[in-house]
Structures are given as C-alpha cells and as structure tokens.
C-alpha cells in the first residue's frame, strides 16, 4: 500500500501528523505533499515534529484568492499523482487543499480517504468555503473517517454506505494529548481568544473586540491573550479596538507547543476556530464559540461548547456567567469530551490496511 497525504494549512498539518508518525512506525510507504497554503504558519510544525514534506507546491501569494488556490493546486498536483501512483490519497478536513486534492485524485481514478469526515452545518456559506468543501469531498471520497456518531449519521443520511465509514475520534486529540503530556503548566486567570474567520471580517469581528474590551475593563484581575492572525484585515480590526489595554496581550501567532501551553493554562477560551472547539474540551476548558453556527454540534450537545455568535451582548452574557458563576463554570468544564480518546490514527490505519 502506498499512501499520498495532501495538506495545505497549519491546522491540517497538526491533525495529520499523528497519522504520518504511525505510518512511519509501521513502515507503510508514504508520500507527503504540502501545497503551501499556509507557508509561514506551517513550517515551524515541520521542525517541531521533525517531519518534512516530500514536495512543497508553494502556491501561497499575497492576498491569495480562493480561485488562485484552487487553480494552482489542481494544475500542479496532476503530475505528482501520475508520477507517484498512490493507492489512495488521504486528505483532511475542509480546506481548499482538501477539496482540490480529492478532485485531482478522482480525475485519476485514485481512491480518496477523508479524515475528519461528516462535519456539517447544513449552510454552505457558513463556514465559507469550508462547508461546501466538506460536502464535495464527501461525494468524492471512498472512505470516510468520522470523528463522532453525529458525523457518521450525517454521512449515512447523505447516502454513504456504512462499510465505507468508521468512527475514529479526532486526530487532533491524538496530537494535543501527546504534546501536553510533556508540559508542566499551571492554570491562570486568563481568557484565550482566537478570531480570524472570513465570515467574521468587518462588523462581526468589531463586535467580538468590543465585547473583549468591556470584559477586560470590568475584570481587571483577568488577562486576555489574543494571538493575531497574519491577515492584515484581521489585525487592523483587533488593534483599532484592543491596542494599549493593559490586561489585553495582543501577540504574534504562536508555535504549536506555545499555543498548547496558553490553551491549557487558560480558564476560558473564546474562538471562531474549528480545531480549538475539539482541543479545549480534552482539558476541561469551557469554549465560547464566536460563530452563529458550528459543524461540531456534538460539543454543543454535550455542554462543552457554548454558542455565542458575534453579537456583543451575547458574548458578554455567556463569558460573564462563566467568570462569575463558579457552579456553572464547573458544570461546563466537567462536560464529557465527545471527540475521542487519542487513538484515532491507529483506527484509521487499521481500517485502510483492511480495505486496500
């Protein structure tokens, strides 16, 4: 069996590394392709894991559009597939790299395995373009690695045969637990915030920052830490509202280990990220979701994710309750993590060995 793995962004690299590590342990032939969709953010991860791509398509350019990303990957990946002739192309999640790599494999009639399959909001514009990417890969993929029973049910409802699906948990839990086990970190009175999504640019992100400003001014004993995404449009909004507030730390993007340290030392996390919605519950940290919809509905159902959306008053209401009501905080922090036990990579590889 020869597996080609294609990823392009920092979150994909984090979530695919446990699979690559396990493949190497088992001596399975692997070709690791990186499209370069997040070049500067992903490179430190290769150094940390000491695993490097066999090829970097290096598609990234300033202010790149979705059209540029799609066309660049599609035209560059064809020759690699023809040269390498993998038995299967493994893609992860919901990025443009994920969709286009799956499409390119389909054009060559190469099997596709989809890690983190079956996540749905049922609104193709939220998150954008990720929700449609997920749906399209779901139509292409031969094998679907669903993190949860909810994801499994989504796929079954879309007509995917049950023998093509396995519930694995999420590989991000494999990664984050492995790293966290080597860290000695203490809790602080700290709120960690990440916000960067396309659909939150403009007034939604301003609302988020105005809520953070009020929280910082009302709870002076809490520190707010916000690693700023490299996107200038994101940074301009954040700085215009939150710069020069004493207990708000606007910092540069963190490497993976430092971000995990910040995460597990925080009392509360506010985020519009997808991956953090899965990582934080593994450490009993309440997550306030800065989105109107989430594809990680099982986290909402279990209680570990609290949907705030992007209206200032809703963000304030939920965050203040977590700060002030200790009994409520303990209830949310003690909610069951639905995203697995850290053994997803082994389940995925065992399934592939059986099927291919």
pLDDT more than 90, % of the chain: 89
Query: Could you tell me where the beta strands, DSSP code E, fall in the chain?
Result: 2-7, 29-34, 55-56, 88-92, 111-115, 143-146, 165-167, 190-194, 223-227, 248-251, 268-271, 287-289, 305-307
Model confidence, pTM = 0.86
Helix axes 171-180, 256-264, angle to 10 degrees: 80
Q: Which position among 68, 198, 235, 255 bears the catalytic label?
A: 198
CA distance 272 to 127: 10
Q: Where in the chain are all domains bearing CATH 3.40.50.2000?
A: 2-170+340-355, 186-333
Nearest to 54 by CA among 87, 11, 24: 24
Q: Which position among 22, 116, 262, 272 bears the catalytic label?
A: 116
Q: What is the model's pLDDT at position 117?
A: 98
Instruction: Answer for the pair 255, 273: CB distance below 8 angstroms, yes or no.
Output: no
Q: Which position among 39, 68, 229, 235 bears the catalytic label?
A: 229
Annotation marks residue 198 as catalytic:
yes
Q: Which position among 114, 120, 144, 196 bears the catalytic label?
A: 196
Burial (CB count within 10 angstroms: exposed 0-12, middle 13-18, buried 19+), residue 265: middle
Instruction: Answer for the pair 115, 93: CB distance below 8 angstroms, yes or no.
Output: yes
Instruction: Answer for the pair 183, 153: CB distance below 8 angstroms, yes or no.
Output: no
How large is the average pLDDT for residues 299-312? 97
How large is the average pLDDT for residues 204-221? 98
Instruction: Answer for the pair 276, 266: CB distance below 8 angstroms, yes or no.
Output: no
Q: Which position among 22, 130, 272, 278 bears the catalytic label?
A: 130
CA distance 161 to 150: 15
Is residue 33 pLDDT above 90, yes or no? Answer: yes
Read off the pLDDT band of 94 (50, 70, 90).
very high
What homologous superfamily is domain 2-170+340-355 in, according to CATH?
Glycogen Phosphorylase B; (3.40.50.2000)
Annotation marks residue 354 as catalytic:
no
Annotation marks residue 94 as catalytic:
yes
Say whether 265 sits in a helix, a strand or coil.
Answer: coil
Annotation marks residue 291 as catalytic:
no
Annotation marks residue 114 as catalytic:
no
**What's the whole-number average pLDDT of the chain?**
95
Annotation marks residue 130 as catalytic:
yes
Read off the pLDDT band of 43 (50, 70, 90).
confident
Say whether 145 sits in a helix, a strand or coil.
Answer: strand
Q: Which position among 12, 94, 174, 295 bears the catalytic label?
A: 94
230-246 pLDDT, tens digit per residue, is: 899 999 999 999 999 99
246-297 pLDDT, tens digit per residue, is: 999 999 999 899 999 999 999 999 999 988 999 999 999 999 999 999 989 9
Which CATH number is 186-333 given? Answer: 3.40.50.2000
């Amino acid at each position: 069996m020869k597996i080609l793995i294609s990823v392009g962004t920092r979150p994909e690299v984090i979530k695919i590394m446990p699979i690559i590590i396990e493949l190497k342990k088992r001596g399975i032939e692997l070709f690791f392709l990186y499209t370069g969709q997040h070049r500067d953010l992903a490179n430190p991860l290769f150094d940390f894991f000491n695993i490097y791509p066999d090829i970097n398509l290096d598609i990234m350019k300033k202010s790149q559009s979705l059209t540029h990303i799609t066309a660049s990957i599609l035209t560059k990946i064809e020759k690699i597939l023809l040269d390498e002739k993998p038995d299967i192309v493994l893609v992860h999640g919901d990025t443009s790299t994920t969709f286009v790599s799956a499409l390119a494999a389909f054009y060559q009639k190469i099997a596709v395995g989809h890690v983190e399959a079956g996540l749905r909001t049922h609104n193709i514009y939220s998150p954008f373009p990720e929700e449609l990417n997920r749906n399209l890969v779901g139509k292409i993929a031969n094998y679907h690695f669903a993190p949860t029973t909810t994801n499994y049910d989504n796929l079954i409802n879309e007509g995917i045969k049950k023998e093509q699906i396995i519930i694995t948990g999420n590989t991000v839990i494999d990664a984050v637990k492995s790293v966290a086990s080597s860290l000695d970190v203490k809790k602080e009175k700290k709120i960690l915030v990440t916000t960067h999504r396309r659909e939150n640019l403009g007034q939604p992100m301003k609302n988020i920052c105005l809520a953070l400003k009020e929280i910082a001014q009302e709870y002076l004993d809490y520190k707010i830490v916000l690693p700023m995404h490299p996107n200038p449009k994101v940074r301009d909004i954040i700085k215009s509202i939150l710069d020069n507030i004493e207990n708000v730390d606007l910092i540069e993007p963190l490497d993976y280990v430092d971000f995990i340290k910040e995460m597990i030392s925080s009392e509360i996390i506010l985020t519009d990220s997808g991956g953090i919605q899965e990582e934080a519950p593994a450490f009993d940290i309440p997550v306030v979701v800065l989105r109107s919809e989430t594809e990680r509905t099982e986290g909402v159902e279990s209680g570990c994710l609290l949907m705030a959306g992007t209206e200032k008053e809703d963000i304030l209401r939920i965050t203040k309750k977590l700060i002030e009501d200790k009994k409520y905080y303990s209830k949310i922090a003690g909610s069951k993590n639905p995203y697995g036990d850290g053994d997803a990579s082994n389940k995925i590889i065992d399934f592939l060995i059986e099927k291919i």
